[in-house]
Chains A and B, each alone.
Chain A
Amino acid sequence: MSRSRIVDALEKKWEIDTRWRSMLTMHLKSREGIARLQNRYLEGIFESRRRAVENLERLVALTVESVKREGGNVYVAKTAEDARRYVVSLAESRGVKCVIKSKSMTTEEIDLNNALLSRGIDVIETDLGERIVQLAGQRPSHIIAPAVHLSREEIARLVNEKKGADLPHQPEAITRFFRQDLWSDFKRAEMGITGANVVVAETGQVVLVTNEGNGRLVTAMPRILVSIAGIEKIVETWDDAFNVLRVLPVSAVGRDTTSYITVIGPRGMSRHVKTPEYHMVLLDNGRMEASQDPWLKDALRCIRCAACLDICPTYRILGGHVFGDIYSGPMGVPWTAITKSLKDASGIAKYCVSCSLCLHVCPVQIDIPITISWIKHASAGKTLRERMLTMYEFYAVLGSRLPRLFNWLQGSRVSRRLMEGLLGIDRRRLMHRFRGGNLYEVLGEEYLRRRDADIVYFPDTFAAYIDWGIGLLVVRVLEALGYTVAVPRTYGSGMPSIQYGFLLKAKRVAEKNVEKLKSYAEAGVRIVCSEPTAAYCLREAYPKILNTPSSQRVSESTWELTNLIATEAKSLSPNTEQSPNTYVFYHHPCHSRLLSPGRPSEDLLKRIGLNVATVDYGCCGIAGTWGMRRGVEGFLISAEIGRRVAEIILGTGCMEIATESSVCAQQLGQFTGLKVRHTIRYIAHSLGIQHRDEGVLNF
């Protein structure tokens, strides 16, 4: 990680605040929209995009044929350089002096503006946000909100300085100024350049989705029109195109549609000019090769909705100028690998903390987190400290044997300084305490070897070695609900290895755990996890890392604890002793969002009579061991997120927090100062097994 870039980014408090608020707003709108959207649309878009990627070569050929049939010019550019050369020589040969552009990340990718400017051709961006960043000499920091990092004051100052205006810092006045100012450019430009949201192969047309109207003016006013589209934007039919058009605005900003959808092509209707000329440039630049790569291929389904940027915890803090190349945030990592190199991609992959929320919100189900793990794995640059963090379970086992020593070390200033220096664990991070001993010893052989079980409990490192109190409670609750539980000795889920890109090590752990669990899975016994990250590994990560039938069986048999209870324990009822005055905030752990549809834990807490509040702000900011890392490597970014999340939670007036993740509990306890409990404690209390405050060591 580039320390100085992070330090700079962390100093811009105002920018972080604005981005955090903006991303949260966009995320909430997007989720509301997606919740309203019928499932068939999401199924439709996934299928359309999947088919398009599978048939990329054929669709390129079909598009070329269609554009030619309609009388247009089409050029397939193998590289960014080829695309630049084609457009620049076209402009020069036609004597173009001024080019107007509608928003296009593809032209950013090929650095077209600089190529045109270097030949003395004026280039004017006409999307408001793009125009602002163009005047600022920057690149977009967000793929659909390019100027989201700038304040109204900064923008007004910039426009006044660059355009000799005298604008107040009011968005309305600034917008009105550009309406006027850009109109003269629309009239004088001889060439218009657009990107594409979709290319429809059957008719050879480009579809643009816009709100401002600049896209329509760019396609309607100049004599020469050039559309530049990445080949992955091609879909075969209009039905496929409508699948994208229906979902894209919903996932982007929660709206069913944008103000304008513009379809252009060789016979574009708006060409009131005498001798219109149309060119389509289809850009490969690594895409065709990526379509054959098992790790990168899925990223080609991307529709550029930016939902993954809006939810990403580190993007919200660092922004696209740090966490990004041409393409920013989560989707920017695989896209940098596709269009530049693995090395470039690994430079930004480090900002991913594997929370998995980008996968959760992606309307076309691109598993960005696992792709990023692979990019980290495939590239150099992993540090010794990261390698040491993958030994998390080893420290936990040691701590379970020497609890007094470890608890003392964690509490002593001197040893914390030492731990910071040697292990890179930030001394300001509050750590969980060791209970001493482990769950397997506490439960005994009977549980380890039980073959007649109908549930297998996979405790993961925390409930097995750091605080078996939670593990024991889980077993007692499951038994009270009528299950026969087995707890075979398993390994920690291996999440730190996945997170830091040590996929060979992750694979070894996954193989061992699958080996332990597969006979149960094959016999139809469900595997239950009380730690959401463990469930994520078993359900999502292992099958991708191992790609074996056994890992698939284990995946299909894995349940999150609260989801299982919410689904099957119909008899749970309110317990008047802990209701209704217990006002609990429920924190939804990232990995759990991905695994359990709906809100099972929240529903359960309500069912047992608690007064529950929740807010969908996303990640609490600890992300396993990452938020424990020293300074700018983790803790300082984690703290920026933690403070903002705490403000939201405290704003609800709740006095305690329920969650299932042991690390989320660490973060939330540290930044809210409230008592955090595992959801199972409330359920155990409700069943009369144990008071929710009894036996609490950590949460």
Chain B
Amino acid sequence: MVGREGELVVAGVRPDVKEFLERCKLNGLQVAYVRSIEALLSVLTDWASGWGVRWIILGGLSKGLSEKIRGEFTGRSGCKVLEIGDAETEIGELRTSSLGVFRANAGIKETGGLVIFDNWASNLASLIPEYSVALLEEGEILQDYWMLTPVIRQTRPGGIVIISGPSSTSDIELTPIIGVHGPVGCGCIVAGIELDEQV
């Protein structure tokens, strides 16, 4: 059930989801598609161990989903798990060896963007740690930016972030370098299940 980086062809994945994940990959993200919470946790632990992180920072996830991730990491990998909000004061110290896991509210298929609406916990979890992973439901993928207009008009978010890749620069002799002020590595897991309903 799990499609990892480089093996995106998962039977039955909707074409728009596949296209979205391909775009994310082009933008330099690791990508996966899952159809169960177990598969999602397995991808997360895999990536976390690949990146060698010691801290998991959760932001903007539902209570049920946070619990599941907390349980998985505390039990198996020895990583410490923090939730933004509980640990507001500590997060600034967790720039290295850390993985932020956050809930994206929408994906933009055309450009491979991950959208966060009005959620400062998701914003910080996607920004401050060394690595970050977005969790998204497949039904939340939109064709292009313009599909956000009615959502913005209806929900009137105070702030929005659209993430389309790891932090990068080419400011020195146009040499591309990954990881300036934001995450060095990013991932996106698209779920074919409802994420916020996890209990």
Interface 1/0 per residue, B92-136 and A, CB below 8 Å? 100100000000000000111100111110011001000000000
| Contact, CB under 8 Å: B174 / A127 | no
| Contact, CB under 8 Å: A260 / B124 | no
Is A217's CB within 8 Å of the partner chain B? yes
Please tell me which stretch of B64-72, B74-82, B154-162 contacts chain A, meaning at least 4 of its Cβ atoms lie within 8 angstroms of it.
B154-162
Minimum CB–CB distance from B138 to chain A (whole Å) comes to 21
| Contact, CB under 8 Å: B171 / A256 | no
| Contact, CB under 8 Å: A175 / B162 | no
| Contact, CB under 8 Å: B181 / A214 | yes
The answer to whether residues A262 and B174 also contact, given A220-B127, A242-B146 and a CB cut-off of 8 A, is no
| Contact, CB under 8 Å: B173 / A270 | no
CA distance A245 to B146 in the complex (A): 11
Is B27's CB within 8 Å of the partner chain A? yes
Please tell me which stretch of A141-149, A515-523, A550-558 contacts chain B, meaning at least 4 of its Cβ atoms lie within 8 angstroms of it.
A141-149
Residue from B144, B145, B181 in contact with A126 in the complex, judged by beta carbons closer than 8 Å: B181
| Contact, CB under 8 Å: B112 / A171 | no
Looking across the interface, which residue of chain A has its beta carbon closest to that of B26? A256
Minimum CB–CB distance from A264 to chain B (whole Å) comes to 6
CA distance A176 to B165 in the complex (A): 18
Looking across the interface, which residue of chain B has its beta carbon closest to that of A253? B170
Interface 1/0 per residue, A304-320 and B, CB below 8 Å? 00000000000000000
CA distance A11 to B128 in the complex (A): 44
Residue from B160, B167, B172 in contact with A259 in the complex, judged by beta carbons closer than 8 Å: B167
CA distance A270 to B117 in the complex (A): 10
| Contact, CB under 8 Å: B161 / A261 | yes
| Contact, CB under 8 Å: B180 / A212 | yes
| Contact, CB under 8 Å: A260 / B112 | no
CA distance A76 to B181 in the complex (A): 32
Q: Which residues of B contact A171 (CB under 8 A)?
A: 172-173, 175, 177
| Contact, CB under 8 Å: A212 / B152 | no
Q: Which residues of A contact B172 (CB under 8 A)?
A: 128-129, 132, 147, 150, 152, 155, 171, 174-175
| Contact, CB under 8 Å: A257 / B112 | yes
| Contact, CB under 8 Å: A127 / B158 | no
Q: Which residues of A contact B163 (CB under 8 A)?
A: 259-260
Looking across the interface, which residue of chain B has its beta carbon closest to that of A265? B158
Q: Which residues of A contact B166 (CB under 8 A)?
A: 259
The answer to whether residues A272 and B171 also contact, given A175-B180, A238-B153 and a CB cut-off of 8 A, is no
CA distance A242 to B113 in the complex (A): 13
CA distance A129 to B88 in the complex (A): 30
8 A Cβ contacts from A158-210 to B: 171-172, 174-176, 178-179, 182-183, 186-187, 202-203, 205
| Contact, CB under 8 Å: B113 / A128 | no
Minimum CB–CB distance from B23 to chain A (whole Å) comes to 8
Is A216's CB within 8 Å of the partner chain B? yes
Looking across the interface, which residue of chain A has its beta carbon closest to that of B175? A171
The answer to whether residues A242 and B157 also contact, given A128-B171, A211-B168, A261-B113 and a CB cut-off of 8 A, is no
Looking across the interface, which residue of chain A has its beta carbon closest to that of B162? A261
Q: Which residues of A contact B118 (CB under 8 A)?
A: 267, 269
| Contact, CB under 8 Å: B173 / A151 | yes
Please tell me which stretch of A18-26, A351-359, A423-431, A626-634 contacts chain B, meaning at least 4 of its Cβ atoms lie within 8 angstroms of it.
A18-26
Q: Which residues of B contact A261 (CB under 8 A)?
A: 113, 160-162, 164
Is A268's CB within 8 Å of the partner chain B? yes
Q: Which residues of B contact A256 (CB under 8 A)?
A: 110-112
| Contact, CB under 8 Å: B164 / A258 | yes
Q: Which residues of B contact A146 (CB under 8 A)?
A: 171
Residue from B27, B149, B160, B180 in contact with A213 in the complex, judged by beta carbons closer than 8 Å: B180
Q: Which residues of B contact A85 (CB under 8 A)?
A: none
CA distance A345 to B144 in the complex (A): 40
Minimum CB–CB distance from A353 to chain B (whole Å) comes to 25
Looking across the interface, which residue of chain A has its beta carbon closest to that of B116? A269
8 A Cβ contacts from A15-37 to B: 18, 21-22, 25-26
Q: Which residues of A contact B160 (CB under 8 A)?
A: 261-263, 269
The answer to whether residues A270 and B124 also contact, given A145-B170, A242-B148, A257-B111 and a CB cut-off of 8 A, is yes
CA distance A635 to B175 in the complex (A): 32
Looking across the interface, which residue of chain A has its beta carbon closest to that of B123? A270
Q: Which residues of B contact A260 (CB under 8 A)?
A: 161-164, 167, 182
Is B198's CB within 8 Å of the partner chain A? no
| Contact, CB under 8 Å: A239 / B167 | no
Is A593's CB within 8 Å of the partner chain B? no
| Contact, CB under 8 Å: B127 / A216 | yes
Is A246's CB within 8 Å of the partner chain B? yes
CA distance A203 to B160 in the complex (A): 12
Minimum CB–CB distance from B158 to chain A (whole Å) comes to 3
Minimum CB–CB distance from A247 to chain B (whole Å) comes to 11
Q: Which residues of A contact B170 (CB under 8 A)?
A: 145, 253
CA distance A152 to B111 in the complex (A): 32
| Contact, CB under 8 Å: A269 / B171 | no
| Contact, CB under 8 Å: A175 / B164 | no
Is A73's CB within 8 Å of the partner chain B? no
Is B139's CB within 8 Å of the partner chain A? no
| Contact, CB under 8 Å: B120 / A271 | yes
Q: List 24 A-B contacts (CB under 8 A).
A: A129-B172, A132-B171, A145-B171, A147-B171, A148-B174, A183-B95, A205-B159, A211-B169, A212-B169, A213-B181, A214-B181, A216-B181, A238-B149, A239-B146, A256-B112, A259-B182, A260-B182, A261-B164, A262-B159, A262-B161, A263-B161, A267-B159, A269-B160, A272-B124
5 closest A-B pairs by CB: A213-B182, A267-B158, A269-B159, A129-B171, A213-B181
Known: A213-B182, A257-B164. 7 other contacts (CB 8 A): A129-B169, A132-B172, A148-B174, A171-B177, A246-B144, A259-B166, A269-B119
